[in-house]
Chains A and B, each alone.
Chain A
Amino acid sequence: MIGGAFSLVIVTPEGEVVQTSVEELTAPGALGEFGVLPGHIPFMCILSRGELAYRRGAEKKYLAVHQGYAEVGPEAVTILAELAEAAETIDVPRAEAAKRRAEERLARRGPEAHEIDVERAQAALARAMLRLRVASRR
């Protein structure tokens, strides 16, 4: 199967986002980015928040993934993610607004700020930045 293609399925709680056959995939693994070509050894991996890319012929697609998990086999890759957004579907103005909001919240925090609030704002900021980065790929 070397040089061929493998199937890629990306599933989120909102439904199946991608179901296609691809030739190459790069994903943000917990220990760093990894690439998958057909015939990969079986591999289970937690994904960190980041950018996922796959290629089919000359066509290359990018997605932003959060809270993901990948199951890699020689002929199939399944990705379960809480969120997976294709670069084309990302709402840039909304991501920008979210980024500003999170930044303001972080800048404004006083000494009595709740740890959870800070964490949440940081997570929101990271998400917004990721979306913007992925959106810039289209």
Chain B
Amino acid sequence: MANLRDIRRRITSVKNTQQITRAMKMVSAAKLRRAQERMEAARPYARRIAEVIGHLALRAAPGAHPLIRAGERRERRIVLVVVSADRGLCGSFNSGVLRRSLEFYQERKGVEVTLLTIGRKAGDYFRYRKIPVAERLDDFFRSFDFAKARRIGEGLRRRFLDDGADAVYLIYNRFRSMLSQVPEVLPLLPVTIPPSVQPPIGMIPFDFIYEPSAAAVLEALLERHVNTQVYQALLESSAGEHGARMSAMDNATTNAAEMIDKLTLFYNRARQANITRELIEVVSGADALKG
């Protein structure tokens, strides 16, 4: 039977851990709420841009812009952007997306893959596997805004238009619900034209005046569309991270509670055993004296 003092010490230790996991859970819940709000707020903008591009592309000739590439094309050089979290303790959030990325990378045999990582965990993962990373952004999620996403979008566009990459893919955790994040591969470039929905309310399509020109409007919007997609992926990943950490810490808190219960039971049993043993000693001592 374990020593009483040892058990007591373990109970205290587990209790301390539980306090930490509980606090982390609360913090994550608060951050999750904020991240979700940002995600919601970004949606109308992204939707509108996608809608307008759908319209413009309907009218534009195929190959109207190098960012929309007509026809299939063999991919010889691609850019792969992997988005993970900066920190751990969030369940399978990082491992899921990183495993998916590694698969994606290994599937592309004979293709020159330029790897970019956002989030410390992704950078570390590939460094550990000795896979060269062209550029890594660490400590990204503590504060990020649209301007940061735009700079990433611009960099990716340059790699696509000037450095001859045939495609750009982004792998990130899509936010399905507070408790569920799914690794997803997003083909970012060339731009896939979003299916055109309804024409904007109160407007006759095909009868617009463009300033400076239809091509210039399309170009500006395509660029913004790419930036917006990057921004949304980052927002989803960030919200997903907090969601994953929240549920991981919730589990940890529950497990700690279970362990405390079990240890307390052990402790009581051990204490009872001690008392019984002492009683027997006293009684048998008295018996011996009598005898």
Contact = CB atoms under 8 A, between A and B. Distances in A.
B242 to A, nearest CB: 19
Contacts, number: 82
B210 interface: yes
B260 interface: no
A41 B208 CA distance: 8
Given A13-B231, A30-B212, A75-B202, A44 B48 contact: no
Contact of A43 (B45, B209, B221): B209
Contacts of A80: 45, 48-49, 52, 224
Nearest to A120: B151
A12 B147 CA distance: 12
A17 B18 CA distance: 43
Interface in B216-259: 216-217, 220-221, 224, 228, 231
A73 B204 CA distance: 9
B41 A14 contact: yes
Contact of A14 (B38, B217, B221): B38
Nearest to B217: A44
A18 B136 CA distance: 37
B203 interface: yes
Interface in B162-202: 200-202
B224 A67 contact: yes
Nearest to A83: B146
Contact of A31 (B41, B201, B211): B211
Among A44, A46, A74: residue with most chain B CB under 10 A: A44
Given A71-B52, A71-B200, A44 B208 contact: yes
Contacts of A67: 224
Interface string A34-53: 00000001111110000000
Contacts of A29: 211
Contacts of B210: 43-45
Given A14-B146, A69-B224, A74-B202, A43 B48 contact: no
Interface of A: 11-16, 29-31, 41-46, 67, 69, 71, 73-76, 78, 80, 82-83
Given A13-B45, A43-B210, A69-B224, 13 more contacts: A11-B44, A11-B45, A13-B231, A14-B146, A30-B212, A30-B216, A31-B212, A44-B52, A44-B214, A45-B217, A46-B212, A46-B217, A80-B49
| 5 A-B pairs closest in CB distance | A15-B41, A45-B211, A73-B203, A75-B202, A13-B146
